[in-house]
Amino acid sequence: MKISTVARHFREGAKNVGRNGWMSFASISSIAVSLFILGVFMLLALNVNKLADQLDNQVQISVYLETDTDQPKIENVERLIKRIPEVKSVTFVSKAEGLARFRESMGEDGKQALEGYDDENNPLPDSFEVEAFNPQQIAFVAKQIEAINESDPDKPVKRVRYGKGTIETLFSITNGVRNIGLFIVLGLAVMAMFLISTTIKMTILARRREIGIMKLVGATNSFIRWPFFIEGALIGFSGSAAAAAGLLIGYSQLVIKTNHSMGLYMLQLSTFDEVKWLVGGTILALGTLLGVWGSTISIRKHLRV
Amino acid sequence: MQDVEMDKVRILTGSDNVIEMQDIWKTYPDGTTALQAINVVIERNEFVYIVGPSGAGKSTFMKLIYREEVPTKGQISVNGFNIGKLKQRKIPYVRRNIGVIFQDYKLLPKLSAYENVAFAMEVIETPSRAIRRRTMEVLELVGLKHKAGSLPAQLSGGEQQRIAIARAIVNNPAVIVADEPTGNLDPETSWGIMKLLEEINFRGTTIVMATHNKEIVNTLRKRVIAIEKGSISRDEPRGEYGYEN
């Protein structure tokens, strides 16, 4: 195709967008809204993944032993835990070590509270820190450890602790959010596409006379169709550009505003730079694609040449 | 490139016929038979009137030539192309060799006279410099160079039809198909249009014109093909109109 022809198609496509001002506006808005929501879900998913990564480090099982457990028993329990196939590592934390760590994690505030405790009167039990290969296996591993305890007549384990609530809730929320989000976005996207195809249909009907003459004097089918594809693409692109701009501006603000309070929990949102290309690019590509798709539907139906 | 292909076809068929119809039948989906057993040959550079009562099949005959309709049966070739069997995507290239003129002009109301003519070249991707030169050339030929900037609404009926003719010839078609070109015009204006069509015919373009205008047919004598009830009832070299209006 010649450059002048391409320029003509773009000019005509843009003219079409302007000609159906209100319909185009409605289509652009609906694309923008649906992709904005898609973007919100994308950002949510990205952050949940990031959060899960960050929690991974905190995802381990603490196995507290009864205070009177003797050394051979401790070694026996350790061996049994190591035998669970999902277990990646087992670390023994003696009660002295436990106290030292506790002191450290409490920082300045803890110094006073923990004053007076030493090896003689250490209230903490010996414990194991157990890590699984996969954070989703944590609950299962914890159950296995409890089973080991049950089968031992001495019941050497006092308590098995892991971020029960957090981990399980996190994963079930993620799955729920993803499914609901997908459903909503799919519905909105289909709606936006049909709006676009209606817009294009109106343009085609408005230009029927012109199209008739074009056919009569021997314009090729693709020549007649191109401006309508471009009209759809322009609508899709404008809508998605609005959505992407809104999302990214909003997100960069959110990152700045929450940086401090999230930091208190040792957590961090995905940075703006981490998400901008993925979210922005996906939305722009998807919007343009939806636009072209919508116009294809209409062209197939109303532009029999 | 198109012309080269056309010459090839012409050499292969060894024919100088612009339009050939062999045993053409046309039945519409509703069951009405518009044309039956039509056999016609129109040679290069002929000027042919198609006459007959309303509803006799004249319009269908014209539409078959510019492939608005396809025959139910039979073979039709225009300018060497067997257009009944033509692939969909080749149709535009055949139409570039056919100029069509209607009773109601069919100009685009929002485009100026110049733009209406240039449009026909633009949409077949003619380089813009050639468009400018050729459009002015045909506007001059139809005598409306001075009205190039006017919108159709600002032109008289005769002037609008001249613009439509300019659009039909701007791409140098081998044949002009004119369906009642003087149908909406007063006698004086009609004669102006006929002079113009004759001039175009002199320059080498075949003209097929459906008409109800007795005076024109009987004065400007040309070949006359009469269609009645879907069949050719008369085909005379310098014929008469033969009906009372």
Q: How far apart are the first and last CA of chain A?
A: 20
Residue percentage of chain B with pLDDT more than 90: 76
Q: How confident is the model at residue B137 (pLDDT cuts 50, 70, 90)?
A: very high
Out of A162, A195, A211, a domain closes at A162
Mean pLDDT throughout A11-16?
Answer: 85
- Angstrom distances, CA of residue A5 to CA of A12, A212, B115: 10, 19, 16
Selected residue with higher pLDDT from B3 and A257? A257
A126 and A209 co-located in one domain: no
Set of chain A residues whose Cβ sits within 8 Å of the Cβ of B126: none
State the DSSP string of B138-200.
Answer: HHHHTT-GGGTT--GGGS-HHHHHHHHHHHHHTT--SEEEEESTTTTS-HHHHHHHHHHHHHH
Average model confidence (pLDDT) across chain B: 90
A115 and A84 co-located in one domain: yes
A49 and A114 co-located in one domain: no
User: Rounded to an integer, what distance in angstroms lies between the CA atom of residue B139 and that of residue A94?
Assistant: 102
Is 70 exceeded by the pLDDT of residue B8?
Answer: no
Tokens for A214, please give them: 């074009």
User: Rounded to an integer, what distance in angstroms lies between the CA atom of residue A190 and that of residue B75?
Assistant: 47
Mean pLDDT throughout B109-124?
Answer: 92
Out of A145, A162, A179, a domain closes at A162
Set of chain A residues whose Cβ sits within 8 Å of the Cβ of B83: none
In chain A, whose CA is at the least distance from the CA of B123? A219
Helix H or strand E segment including A161: strand A157-161
Instruction: Express each pLDDT in B35-49 by its tens digit.
Output: 999 999 999 999 999
A114 and A248 co-located in one domain: no
Is 90 exceeded by the pLDDT of residue A98?
Answer: no
From the list B92, B106, B127, the residue facing A218 with the nearest CB is B92
From the list B93, B108, B128, the residue facing A218 with the nearest CB is B93
Selected residue with higher pLDDT from A20 and B201? B201
In chain A, whose CA is at the least distance from the CA of B63? A216
From the list B95, B128, B167, the residue facing A218 with the nearest CB is B95
Set of chain B residues whose Cβ sits within 8 Å of the Cβ of A4: 127-128
User: Rounded to an integer, what distance in angstroms lies between the CA atom of residue A34 and that of residue A184?
Assistant: 8
Q: How confident is the model at residue A93 (pLDDT cuts 50, 70, 90)?
A: confident
In the DSSP assignment, the letter for residue B15 is -
Set of chain A residues whose Cβ sits within 8 Å of the Cβ of B89: 220-221
Instruction: Express each pLDDT in A100-122 by its tens digit.
Output: 877 776 666 666 667 777 777 77
DSSP 3-state assignment of B27?
strand
CATH number where A157 lies: 3.30.70.3040
Indicate the number of domains in chain A: 2
Residue B196, pLDDT score: 94
Cα of A290 to nearest chain B Cα, Å: 27
Mean pLDDT throughout A58-67?
Answer: 79
Residue B6, pLDDT score: 55
Mean pLDDT throughout A195-218?
Answer: 85
Task: Judge whether A167 and A135 are in contact, CB under 8 Å.
Answer: yes
Q: Which residues of B55-94 are buried (b: 16+ CB within 10 A; e: fewer)?
A: ebbbbbbbbbbbbbbebeebebbbbbbebbebeeeebbbb
From the list B88, B92, B94, the residue facing A219 with the nearest CB is B92
Out of A162, A193, A221, a domain closes at A162
Q: Long-range contacts made by residues B193-196, C-beta under 8 angstroms, separation at least 24?
A: B193/B158, B193/B161, B193/B162, B193/B165, B194/B220, B196/B141, B196/B142, B196/B143, B196/B162, B196/B165
A46 and A176 co-located in one domain: yes
A30 and A108 co-located in one domain: no
Set of chain A residues whose Cβ sits within 8 Å of the Cβ of B95: 215-218
Top residue of B93, B98, B123, B128 to mutate, by most chain A CBs within 10 Å, is: B123
- B124:A219 CB<8 A: yes
Residue A67, pLDDT score: 80
Set of chain A residues whose Cβ sits within 8 Å of the Cβ of B122: 8
Q: List the domain range (segments joined by +) for residue A218.
A: 3-55+167-302
Is 60 exceeded by the pLDDT of residue A57?
Answer: no
Residue A85, pLDDT score: 86
Top residue of A216, A224, A226, A305 to mutate, by most chain B CBs within 10 Å, is: A216
Q: How confident is the model at residue A179 (pLDDT cuts 50, 70, 90)?
A: confident
A64 and A132 co-located in one domain: yes
A68 and A118 co-located in one domain: yes
Selected residue with higher pLDDT from A172 and B181? B181
Among A37-46, A284-293, B100-109, B223-232, name the one with the lowest average pLDDT: A37-46
- A213:B108 CB<8 A: yes
Closest CA to B73 of B82, B83, B84: B84
Chain B: residues touching A (Cβ < 8 Å): 66, 88-89, 92-96, 100, 106, 108, 119-120, 122-125, 127-128, 167, 171
DSSP 3-state assignment of A128?
strand
Amino acid at B244: E
Is 60 exceeded by the pLDDT of residue A305?
Answer: no
User: Rounded to an integer, what distance in angstroms lies between the CA atom of residue B111 and that of residue B210?
Assistant: 28
Mean pLDDT throughout B188-209?
Answer: 94
A153 and A172 co-located in one domain: no
From the list B96, B106, B127, the residue facing A218 with the nearest CB is B96
Tell me which range, A39-53, A103-117, B8-22, B168-182, is most confidently predicted by mean pLDDT.
Answer: B168-182
Helix, strand, coil % over all residues of chain B, rounded to 5 = 40, 25, 35
Task: Judge whether B57 and B35 are in contact, CB under 8 Å.
Answer: yes
Query: CB A28: neighbour CB atoms within 10 A?
Result: 27
DSSP 3-state assignment of A281?
helix
This model of the complex carries an ipTM of: 0.83
A119 and A187 co-located in one domain: no
Query: Could you give phi then psi for residue B120, rounded to 5 degrees?
Result: -65, -30
In chain A, whose CA is at the least distance from the CA of B177? A216
Is 70 exceeded by the pLDDT of residue B10?
Answer: no
- B95:A209 CB<8 A: no
Residue B146, pLDDT score: 95
Residue B1, pLDDT score: 47
Task: Judge whether B6 and B97 are in contact, CB under 8 Å.
Answer: yes
Chain A: residues touching B (Cβ < 8 Å): 2, 4-5, 8, 209-210, 212-221, 223-224, 305
Query: CB A35: neighbour CB atoms within 10 A?
Result: 31
Instruction: Express each pLDDT in B49-92 by its tens digit.
Output: 999 998 889 999 999 999 989 999 999 999 888 888 888 888 89
User: Rounded to an integer, what distance in angstroms lies between the CA atom of residue B63 and that of residue B70?
Assistant: 8
What is the β-pairing status of strands A127-132 and A157-161? unpaired
Query: CB B39: neighbour CB atoms within 10 A?
Result: 12
A192 and A267 co-located in one domain: yes
Residue B117, pLDDT score: 96
Residue A167, pLDDT score: 61
Average model confidence (pLDDT) across chain A: 81
Cα of B174 to nearest chain A Cα, Å: 13
Query: Could you give phi then psi for residue B210, rounded to 5 degrees?
Result: -85, 135
Q: How confident is the model at residue B113 (pLDDT cuts 50, 70, 90)?
A: very high
A187 and A145 co-located in one domain: no
Mean pLDDT throughout B204-226?
Answer: 94
Q: How confident is the model at residue A184 (pLDDT cuts 50, 70, 90)?
A: confident
CB-count burial class (<10 Å; 0-12, 13-18, 19+) for A260: exposed
Closest CA to B1 of B96, B85, B87, B138: B96
